[in-house]
């Protein structure tokens, strides 16, 4: 991506929705070619993260996998969405992405096929970043917590560690049935 096209990408802002929409109304193509209907996650919170295999934040896969292991049985879902939108830091081939994530981080949570999350966002990401209080990712490993009702609860930037108190606290509050603070 050229510097000019990168600048244009950052200048584009999604339209802000006045009311939240149901993020679980989307279907996602998975890295193995299958399809994930997010409606199947209704009633369970989910952490949705834009990922990249060749980024300084890539080791966050380790923390995301530990979050998945720690909270999945309690109800948390997790979806990684590999993207090359930021400095083209993702492999082109889905099989190579999957192999990299499994080999280096033991990733067991679902990964989407390589997708755009900001440049020309796919429908899930266009909806996710247009929600009230949301924002498009500024870089790889931006994290979005969605409630069991399909509404965005909160989001965090790349520098917020997956296992840090901000994210684990929000996950624990949602899993315990507490009213989320919201975005």
CATH number at residue 138: 3.40.30.10
Q: Is residue 114 part of a domain?
A: yes
Q: Is residue 159 part of a domain?
A: yes
- Among residues 105, 103, 55, the alpha carbon closest in space to that of 82 is found at 55
Q: Is residue 180 part of a domain?
A: no
- Among residues 113, 141, 144, 153, the alpha carbon closest in space to that of 126 is found at 144
Q: Is residue 121 part of a domain?
A: yes
* Dihedral angle sign, alpha carbons of residues 157, 23, 42, 58: negative
Q: Is residue 67 part of a domain?
A: yes
Distance CA 144, CA 156 (A): 7
Out of 55, 160, 175, 183, which one is annotated catalytic? 55
114 vs 9, 12, 18, 84, 149, CA distance in Å? 18, 21, 29, 8, 26
Q: Is 101 a known active-site residue?
A: no
Residue 17 has a pLDDT of 66
Number of domains the chain is built from: 1
Residue 178 has a pLDDT of 80
Q: Is residue 112 part of a domain?
A: yes
DSSP code at position 75 = T
DSSP-derived secondary structure for 133-156: T----SSS--EEEE-TTS-EEEEE
* Phi (first) and psi of residue 64, to 5 degrees: -65, -40
Rounded to 5 degrees, what angle do the CA atoms 36, 38, 41 make? 115
Question: What is the number of alpha carbons within 13 Å of residue 3 lying toward its C-beta?
Answer: 0
- Among residues 150, 133, 167, 162, the alpha carbon closest in space to that of 46 is found at 150
Which position has the token pair 């296992």?
163
> Taking the model in full, what pTM does it have?
0.91
For 32, the domain range is 3-175
Distance CA 81, CA 94 (A): 11
Q: Is residue 132 part of a domain?
A: yes
Tell me which residues of the chain have a pLDDT lower than 70: 1-14, 17, 179-183
Q: Is residue 183 part of a domain?
A: no
């Amino acid at each position: 991506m050229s510097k000019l096209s990168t600048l244009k990408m950052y200048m584009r802002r999604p339209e802000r929705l006045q009311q939240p929409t149901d993020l679980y109304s989307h279907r996602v193509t998975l890295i193995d070619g299958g399809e994930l209907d997010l409606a199947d996650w209704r009633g369970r919170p989910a952490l949705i993260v834009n990922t990249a295999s060749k980024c300084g934040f890539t080791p966050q896969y380790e923390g995301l996998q530990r979050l998945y292991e720690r909270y999945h049985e309690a109800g948390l879902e997790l979806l990684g969405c590999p993207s090359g939108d930021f400095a083209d830091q993702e492999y082109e081939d889905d099989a190579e992405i999957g192999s990299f994530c499994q080999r280096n981080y033991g990733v067991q949570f679902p990964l989407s096929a390589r997708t755009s999350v900001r440049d020309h966002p796919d429908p899930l990401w266009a909806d996710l970043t247009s929600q009230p209080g949301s924002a498009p990712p500024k870089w790889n490993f931006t994290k979005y917590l969605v409630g069991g009702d399909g509404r965005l609860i909160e989001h965090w930037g790349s520098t917020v560690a997956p296992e840090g108190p901000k994210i684990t606290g929000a996950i624990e509050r949602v899993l315990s049935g507490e009213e989320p603070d919201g975005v």
